[in-house]
Amino acid sequence: MILVKERKLLEFMCMVKREAGTDSFNAEFPPTHAKKGRGSSRKRRNGGYRRGSTSLPDVTTIFGGFDGMALSPDEVEAYVFLQECLEMRKRYVFREAVAPWDKEVISDPSTPKPNPDPFLYIPEGKSDHYFEMQDGVIRVYPDRDEKEELFPVADATTFFTDLHHLLRVIAAGNIRTLCHHRLNLLEQKFNLHLMLNADREFLAQKSAPHRDFYNVRKVDTHVHHSACMNQKHLLRFIKSKLRKEPDELYVLGINPVMSFFNIYDLNVDLLDVHADKSTFHGFDKFNLKYNPCGQSRLREIFLKQDNLIQGRFLGELTKQVFSDLAASKYQMAEYRISIYGRKQSEWDQLASWIVNNDLYSENVVWLIQLPRLYNMYKEMGIVTSFLNMLDNIFIPLFEVTVNPDSHPQLHVFLKQVCYSSMLTF
């Protein structure tokens, strides 16, 4: 029953694609009535469409014309809403005119060669582009006198209208039911694939020369930078600093913190930075795990970049992690660093810390995450409005894009950033 409905949905989407002037979807999922015989005549008897027609047939005609398997009105309504959401998504997805893989021809597909001077800044000059913030949306123009946008985007009113429409669609019971059935179907199809092909894929994997799990390239994603090291590594680093630089740690205030502990008694259990089952769906407990030995002062000294020593300890610890990744050769990482939006200088402080500590590795890229802490900052008086927070986050990025000389270190750092992410907690 479910497979028949899936086929009918695909056929309806194929028809929509053809009416729009493309058969790419139809080529991937050929409809069953494309074959000659009873299926074709039955489809025509049930009020089928004609190629080149100017209007789309009724959805119930498409889904209800095969073997008496008519869809319920709730299912038809859900399919229509989902199709509207897919069309809405196209208005917000940016696509380059030329695909990135077509811009650069890769003549040597081997391992990328190391960059000898990744932080070298070459002045590029200022462009004529002009931008301004309008109701939370930045508009970009070719120059100050031009009134036509380079990249037209929806205004705030349109965005919130579409957002509220999506929220209503998500909350609809019939759509939740349909999506639940769809996920179950995909899971069963994958289980069927495993039953049929698991042994065959395992044999093919064993026959691949010079390749196994340990020498294929792996990427660690969603790793917070302050947690990029394992707990044993962090413990060794803290002990090393307590032995080699006790005077500087005393100035930073670590002596009162460590007065309860003997340096030789420190162990992984006492450090208590391992995320166990108590942190699942409990962000407050998860955040406390960033405090070594339960002391926020230790976190500020060893795991922060904006402290009295300008994050020197965290920089040294990060370079040790980079060295371990380079030694493993086949392990890559994507580390997350937070920009909070409290002030516009956050971007320059972060870039300065990266450049001054020479934090670069061919195995690592950076991801910028934006925690949604506006309510907290508003209550504390750090920001005056949500627009103020948006300015702090995005204005420096557009300034350095228009004029790299205004933020040279940020210009160099952004070349190592892959993308940004909005946190949902």
Could you list the residues known to form a binding site for Zn(2+), using ranges: 222, 224
The total number of residues shown for the chain amounts to: 425
Query: DSSP E strands: which ranges in 30-162?
Result: 130-134, 137-141
Residues making up the annotated binding site for substrate are 224, 285-290
Mark 110-119 as b/e (b = at least 16 C-beta within 10 Å): eeeeeeeebb
First to last CA, the chain: 39
CA distance 202 to 76: 41
Q: Quick one: tokens of 262? A: 């003997």
Could you give the angle at the alpha carbon of 178 between the alpha carbons of 173 and 184, nearest 5°?
125
Annotated binding site: 222, 224, 285-290
- Cβ within 8 Å of residue 400, ≥6 positions away: 347, 406, 407, 410, 411, 414
Contact 16, 29 (CB under 8 A): no
Task: Give the integer Cα–Cα distance in Å for 322 and 331.
Answer: 10
Q: Is the dihedral of CA 208, 212, 213, 215 positive or negative?
A: negative
The token pair that represents 37 in the structure block: 């015989």
Residue 28's alpha-carbon distances to 87, 320, 374, in angstroms, are 19, 48, 45
Rounded distance, CA 66 to CA 195, Å? 30
Residues 6+ apart with CB under 8 A from 101: none
CB 386 within 8 A of CB 394: no
Q: What would the two tokens of residue 324 be?
A: 């371990």
Question: Is the separation of the CB atoms in 106 and 115 below 8 Å?
Answer: no
User: Could you tell me where the beta strands, DSSP code E, fall in 81-134?
Assistant: 130-134
Apex CA 252: angle with CA 246 and CA 255, to 5°? 55
Q: In whole angstroms, what separates CA 334 from the centre of its chain?
A: 10
Going by C-alpha positions, the residue among 355, 341, 356, 422 that lies closest to residue 386 is 341
